A and B are shown apart, each in its own frame.
Chain A
Amino acid sequence: MILAVLFANAEGNILIERFHGVPAEERLHWRSFLVKLGADNLKGVKNEELLVACHKSVYIVYTVLGDVSIYVVGKDEYDELALSEVIFVITSAVKDICGKPPTERVFLDKYGRICLCLDEIVWKGYLENTENDRIKRLLRLKPPTEF
């Protein structure tokens, strides 16, 4: 299960968050934990360079893309390698929508489309689509090309 996907800006403010199977009362804890993790480790990290951590049976893969930091949390079958796949799909999609690693402004300008593409990539805690071209087409409700 992918427990959480979270986008935050450079100051650590949440831009988008998606939780799956995480009780509401634990979300606050996750938010602060992830943002602190980023604040401690993401300084000076290159775009899309992956960082990884695990806590008990939960894995966290995170990275930075322009002004935005992205965190993906998973457990069970979504271990660090599966999550790196997920985060790769997410970063490619975001780059594609924004044209480059986004500034916060550009990210917010494209907010709606980013929400949609996240909806295509992760659905209720499961990875659904992985190819960027397909996701782009799906956002426009076009069937995939290979079909």
Chain B
Amino acid sequence: MAQPLVKKDDDRDDEADYSPFLGIEKGAVLQEARVFNDPQLDARRCSQVITKLLYLLNQGESFTKVEATEVFFAVTKLFQSRDLGLRRMVYLMIKELSPCADEVIIVTSSLMKDMNSKTDMYRANAIRVLCRITDGTLLTQIERYLKQAIVDKNPVVASAALVSGIHILQTNPEIVKRWSNEVQEAVQSRAALVQFHALALLHQIRQNDRLAVSKLVTSLTRGSVRSPLAQCLLIRYTSQVIREAGNNTQAGDRPFFDFLESCLRHKSEMVIFEAAKAITELNGVTSRELTPAITVLQLFLSSSKPVLRFAAVRTLNKVAMTHPMAVTNCNIDMESLISDQNRSIATLAITTLLKTGNESSVERLMKQITNFMSDIADEFKIVVVEAIRSLCLKFPLKYRSLMNFLSSILREEGGFEYKKAIVDSIVILIRDIPDAKESGLLHLCEFIEDCEFTYLSTQILHFLGVEGPKTSDPSKYIRYIYNRVHLENATVRASAVSTLAGFGAAVDALKPRIFVLLRRCLFDSDDEVRDRATLYLNTLGGDGLGTENDRKDFLFGSLDVPLVNLETSLKNYEPSEEAFDINSVPKEVKSQPLAEKKAPGKKPTGLGAPPSGPPSTADSYERLLLSIPEFANFGKLFKSSAPVELTEAETEYAVNVVKHIFDRHIVFQYNCTNTIPEQLLEDVNVIVDASEAEEFSELFSKPLRSLPYDSPGQTFVAFEKPEGLPTTGKFSNTLKFIVKEVDPTTGEAEDDGVEDEYQLEDLEVVSADYIVKVGVSNFRNAWESMGPDCERVDEYGLGARESLAEAVNTVINLLGLQPCEGTEAVPPNSRSHTCLLSGVFIGNVKVLVRLSFGLDGPKDVAMKLSVRSDDETVSDAIHEIVASG
């Protein structure tokens, strides 16, 4: 790569082609600037010196305050010269120097004089300079001139004043707003650019007044707008008006749509594109409205201008996310763009095709992409890999060809980020598509045979250790893992040892052979590898340390504490006689402010974060509850909900609650954080009022002894409920505690405390809490194999709904089941939709649901609900949830 920041003059000494700025030096140029003070000004020489100063500034050279002031004063002397070229340079130089407020006064009078000069161009330039350097107070003095300038018959003067207005509006809006009439007049100007600038300014002045913007748009869409640039602005303002007019999405009634459509026939490509883009971005746009816009974009796809091709494919790419069917007509043109020289265009084309393609075109598409992948940069490849991952999740039956594609690109050259993206994708596919598991794991095994990235190798080895033993033939992975012990660096070797031990612990048949391999690792040259081998051999093979399960748990169980907390505790631990106690590590993750939690979005994560996924959270909850003797006889934990916030963000005490559902019990785990450094809370308890949850009876509560600042803790309340039924209710909560003042200097709490209460939000237990989301990869097979014995079918009227999609979403959330095969997405403007759901009901009963929605009249939604499960009471219960929801 070229070095961007080396000064230009360092690198060429070619006599014949030397730079005019060769050897330029700030001090010398500042000396030269003294010519500005000469009584007999040499305009040519002065221009040259200004050019040198400009060059220095452009090279990132900075002037000290004193230097800048000196140059500025000297430059102001040049106003005496009558040379036009020099005057133009002076204007530029003053703008570049941006003098400070107390210096501005020096040039103000000269500039004011120029502002009223008979030479038009002096006026234009003086306006621009003054607006750049002036502040509010001076502005009121020159306001009169600026207003005149806006309607000046010289377009350059008018434009200068208008563009200045756009800038001044940011700092002194009240002044510019007074110019409305003049700006309005300028909008009617015959000069194209004046109209463009005036329109931009007028819109900014009125942007908060919806009615005024609407009027402006109405008048201009009828009249003639002269420049394509202004026309583009008008299109943008029009779509803003349409957006704000909002609710009326009925086709035909949309205001201004005809105007947008007429712009599709404009002679300027810029206007056509802007109109097409505006149409595609309309809320609830119909296919009839979309068609003409898509047609012009399709034409642009084969334009000779790369910018047009890029703009078109970028817009179509966006349309493909919401209206994939509308874009399919462009697929042939898009396919030819795969070989476009501009790689940005090619990548956009590919990702659009991946979105619009149907199940039958997947193979053909993959073939084309294979050729394309070899000649694009990694950053583009990552985009493609992500698109393929989404495609595979959309068409799980096509996993074979998509997985093969991923594995083949995994074998090719590529950087870390790219390889990581592929590996992450394969891991996600393995997790979400059970059929893809075995082949996916083998692909990963082949990859680590020749993987240059230690991080990826260790991550894959860990993943293999977790998933491999659960496959039908775990032994076939051993060879790949043991090869690592011979061929890799110490970090990977240590990982491989752990993975081997994992297989040994999980698969009894393999244990003796794994031990043989582990024994060989005892002679490794690296301490860590030998230590791990010794540990595993002695623990798994020995008799100490309790039952076999205890031993496995000790070796492979998670630490039971969040890693962040463990890290903090370890950092705080000072080496002493007393050993570090892992039980002293707080178990609850600090409750984050809501905004932060929402930020990461729904992007699936691959290897980077598998242990933090839902299953392991459930595991850690289960372990946490088991460690409390009172809950030991509750049986197996069925489900733990996501934390529900009971306080606003940034309050004194942050509390969220996790609902743990057991067969006959429910436990509320209140995670509390004290955010006040000067307080220590003791005997923290939540008083739960269950008067609106009659079928629940409180068994006991487990208070939290102490809650110091910023160290989260939990308190629990347990209820008994009818066995196996989805009992619902509403609970109101009050946090009760003793508060003690803490001396901030010593950190010690006072002995005496005061009892206090803190009202929390109400908590509801809903039917969805009794259903666990479990997906199936092939819904039809699962449905057929379940059989119609316990099927229950009924029809429901859902009443008037905002849209079909909203109705589908509401029912999915009500039931808390897992949508299958992407059926939760409702194509826009469709009149009917089928949604497939699956899950497990309390009592471990599998449930499959088929929802058929239809629009009955303009907004009324009707729904047919078919439920299949292994237990007819469960099928009835699902109907009950819908009937009472």
Q: Is the CB of A85 within 8 A of B270?
A: yes
Chain B residues whose C-beta falls within 8 Å of the C-beta of A10 in the assembled complex: 2
Of A14, A124, A144, the contact of B132 (CB 8 Å cutoff): A124
Nearest CB of A to B227, in Å: 8
Q: How far is the CA of A16 from the CA of B96 in the complex (A)?
A: 13
Q: Is the CB of A103 within 8 A of B89?
A: no
Q: How far is the CA of A54 from the CA of B317 in the complex (A)?
A: 13
Interface residues as binary, B283-311 with A (CB distance below 8 Å gives 1, 0 otherwise): 00000000000000000000001111011
Nearest CB of B to A68, in Å: 12
> Counting CB contacts under 8 A, is A4 at the interface?
no
Q: How far is the CA of A104 from the CA of B14 in the complex (A)?
A: 12
Interface size on A, residues (CB 8 A): 61
Q: Is the CB of A35 within 8 A of B1?
A: yes
Interface residues as binary, A18-59 with B (CB distance below 8 Å gives 1, 0 otherwise): 000000000010011001101111000000011111100000
Q: Is the CB of A13 within 8 A of B308?
A: no
> Counting CB contacts under 8 A, is A79 at the interface?
yes
Binds A, one of B4-12, B205-213, B479-487: B4-12
Chain A residues whose C-beta falls within 8 Å of the C-beta of B120 in the assembled complex: 143, 147
> Counting CB contacts under 8 A, is A92 at the interface?
no
> Counting CB contacts under 8 A, is B155 at the interface?
yes
Q: Is the CB of A77 within 8 A of B5?
A: no
> Counting CB contacts under 8 A, is B54 at the interface?
yes
Q: Is the CB of A140 within 8 A of B4?
A: no
Q: Is the CB of A80 within 8 A of B311?
A: yes
Q: Is the CB of A82 within 8 A of B270?
A: yes
Q: Is the CB of A77 within 8 A of B87?
A: no
Q: Is the CB of A77 within 8 A of B236?
A: yes
Q: Is the CB of A147 within 8 A of B4?
A: no
> Counting CB contacts under 8 A, is B813 at the interface?
no
Q: With A52-B306, A146-B191 in contact, do A123 and B163 touch (Cβ < 8 Å)? A: yes
Of A13, A50, A146, the contact of B2 (CB 8 Å cutoff): A13
Residue on B nearest A103 in the bound complex, by CB: B17
Q: How far is the CA of A41 from the CA of B343 in the complex (A)?
A: 9
> Counting CB contacts under 8 A, is B746 at the interface?
no
Q: How far is the CA of A1 from the CA of B357 in the complex (A)?
A: 36
Q: Which of B167-211 contact A (CB under 8 A)?
A: 167, 191, 193, 197, 200
Q: Is the CB of B11 within 8 A of A11?
A: yes
Q: Is the CB of A105 within 8 A of B4?
A: no
Nearest CB of B to A93, in Å: 14
Q: Is the CB of A81 within 8 A of B92?
A: no
Residue on A nearest B159 in the bound complex, by CB: A128
Q: Which of A51-92 contact B (CB under 8 A)?
A: 51-54, 61, 77, 79-85
Q: Which of B13-30 contact A (CB under 8 A)?
A: 17-21
Q: With A28-B5, A112-B54 in contact, do A144 and B155 touch (Cβ < 8 Å)? A: yes
Q: Which of A121-137 contact B (CB under 8 A)?
A: 123-124, 126-130, 134
Q: How far is the CA of A105 from the CA of B11 in the complex (A)?
A: 13
Q: Is the CB of B2 within 8 A of A39?
A: yes
Q: With A115-B54, A119-B95 in contact, do A77 and B307 touch (Cβ < 8 Å)? A: no
Nearest CB of B to A4, in Å: 13
Chain B residues whose C-beta falls within 8 Å of the C-beta of A128 in the assembled complex: 159-160, 163, 193, 197
Q: How far is the CA of A84 from the CA of B344 in the complex (A)?
A: 16
> Counting CB contacts under 8 A, is B798 at the interface?
no
Chain B residues whose C-beta falls within 8 Å of the C-beta of A81 in the assembled complex: 269-270, 273-274, 307-308, 311
Q: Is the CB of B342 within 8 A of A127?
A: no
Q: Is the CB of B121 within 8 A of A11?
A: no
Residue on A nearest B228 in the bound complex, by CB: A85
Chain A residues whose C-beta falls within 8 Å of the C-beta of B2 in the assembled complex: 8, 10-13, 35, 38-39
Q: Is the CB of B58 within 8 A of A140?
A: no
Q: Is the CB of A119 within 8 A of B3?
A: no
Of A12, A126, A127, the contact of B4 (CB 8 Å cutoff): A12
Q: Is the CB of B20 within 8 A of A109?
A: yes
Q: Is the CB of A123 within 8 A of B58?
A: no
Q: Is the CB of B8 within 8 A of A13?
A: yes
Q: How far is the CA of A32 from the CA of B3 in the complex (A)?
A: 8
> Counting CB contacts under 8 A, is A98 at the interface?
no
Q: Is the CB of A52 within 8 A of B4?
A: no
Q: Is the CB of A54 within 8 A of B314?
A: yes
Q: Is the CB of B193 within 8 A of A129?
A: yes
Of A32, A36, A49, A111, the contact of B51 (CB 8 Å cutoff): A111
Q: Which of B132-168 contact A (CB under 8 A)?
A: 132, 153-156, 159-160, 163, 166-167
Q: How far is the CA of A145 from the CA of B4 in the complex (A)?
A: 41
**Chain B interface helix/strand/loop/mixed:** helix
> Counting CB contacts under 8 A, is B539 at the interface?
no
Chain B residues whose C-beta falls within 8 Å of the C-beta of A36 in the assembled complex: 1, 4
> Counting CB contacts under 8 A, is B592 at the interface?
no
Residue on A nearest B9 in the bound complex, by CB: A13
Q: Is the CB of A124 within 8 A of B308?
A: no
Residue on A nearest B17 in the bound complex, by CB: A105
Chain A residues whose C-beta falls within 8 Å of the C-beta of B491 in the assembled complex: none
Q: How far is the CA of A13 from the CA of B343 in the complex (A)?
A: 24
Residue on A nearest B91 in the bound complex, by CB: A119
Nearest CB of A to B134, in Å: 13
Q: How far is the CA of A17 from the CA of B54 in the complex (A)?
A: 11
Q: Is the CB of B11 within 8 A of A13?
A: yes
> Counting CB contacts under 8 A, is A97 at the interface?
no
Chain B residues whose C-beta falls within 8 Å of the C-beta of A144 in the assembled complex: 154-156
Of B155, B166, B274, the contact of A126 (CB 8 Å cutoff): B166
Nearest CB of A to B668, in Å: 42
Q: How far is the CA of A12 from the CA of B3 in the complex (A)?
A: 6
Of B6, B19, B311, the contact of A108 (CB 8 Å cutoff): B19
Q: How far is the CA of A53 from the CA of B343 in the complex (A)?
A: 9
Nearest CB of B to A138, in Å: 6
Chain A residues whose C-beta falls within 8 Å of the C-beta of B305 in the assembled complex: 50, 84
Q: Is the CB of B17 within 8 A of A13?
A: no
> Counting CB contacts under 8 A, is B229 at the interface?
yes
Q: Is the CB of A141 within 8 A of B58?
A: no
Q: With A77-B236, A82-B229, A119-B95 in contact, do A53 and B163 touch (Cβ < 8 Å)? A: no
Chain B residues whose C-beta falls within 8 Å of the C-beta of A54 in the assembled complex: 310, 314, 344
Chain A residues whose C-beta falls within 8 Å of the C-beta of B17 in the assembled complex: 103-105
Q: Is the CB of B311 within 8 A of A147?
A: no
Nearest CB of A to B297, in Å: 12
> Counting CB contacts under 8 A, is B47 at the interface?
yes
Q: How far is the CA of A115 from the CA of B92 in the complex (A)?
A: 8
Q: Which of B104-127 contact A (CB under 8 A)?
A: 119-122, 124-125
Q: With A13-B2, A81-B311 in contact, do A143 and B51 touch (Cβ < 8 Å)? A: no
Chain A residues whose C-beta falls within 8 Å of the C-beta of B55 in the assembled complex: 108, 111
Chain A residues whose C-beta falls within 8 Å of the C-beta of B342 in the assembled complex: 51-52
Q: With A12-B1, A13-B11, A144-B156 in contact, do A82 and B232 touch (Cβ < 8 Å)? A: yes
Chain B residues whose C-beta falls within 8 Å of the C-beta of A127 in the assembled complex: 229
> Counting CB contacts under 8 A, is B799 at the interface?
no
Q: Is the CB of A126 within 8 A of B163?
A: yes
> Counting CB contacts under 8 A, is B59 at the interface?
yes
Residue on A nearest B345 in the bound complex, by CB: A52
Q: Is the CB of B7 within 8 A of A13?
A: yes
Q: Is the CB of B310 within 8 A of A80?
A: yes
Chain A residues whose C-beta falls within 8 Å of the C-beta of B153 in the assembled complex: 147
Chain A residues whose C-beta falls within 8 Å of the C-beta of B229 in the assembled complex: 82, 85, 127, 130
Chain A residues whose C-beta falls within 8 Å of the C-beta of B676 in the assembled complex: none
Of B124, B128, B306, the contact of A49 (CB 8 Å cutoff): B306
Q: How far is the CA of A143 from the CA of B229 in the complex (A)?
A: 22
Q: Which 8 A-B pairs have the closest CB atoms?
A: A12-B2, A112-B51, A141-B121, A35-B4, A84-B307, A141-B84, A52-B310, A143-B120
Can you list 27 contacts pairing A with B, beta carbon distance less than 8 Å?
A8-B4, A13-B3, A13-B7, A32-B5, A49-B306, A50-B307, A51-B342, A52-B306, A52-B342, A53-B344, A81-B273, A84-B305, A104-B17, A105-B19, A111-B20, A111-B21, A112-B48, A116-B89, A119-B92, A126-B163, A126-B197, A128-B163, A129-B156, A140-B85, A141-B122, A142-B121, A143-B154
Known: A14-B4, A28-B5, A115-B58. 11 other contacts (CB 8 A): A13-B5, A35-B4, A50-B305, A52-B306, A81-B311, A82-B270, A112-B50, A112-B89, A126-B197, A143-B154, A146-B191
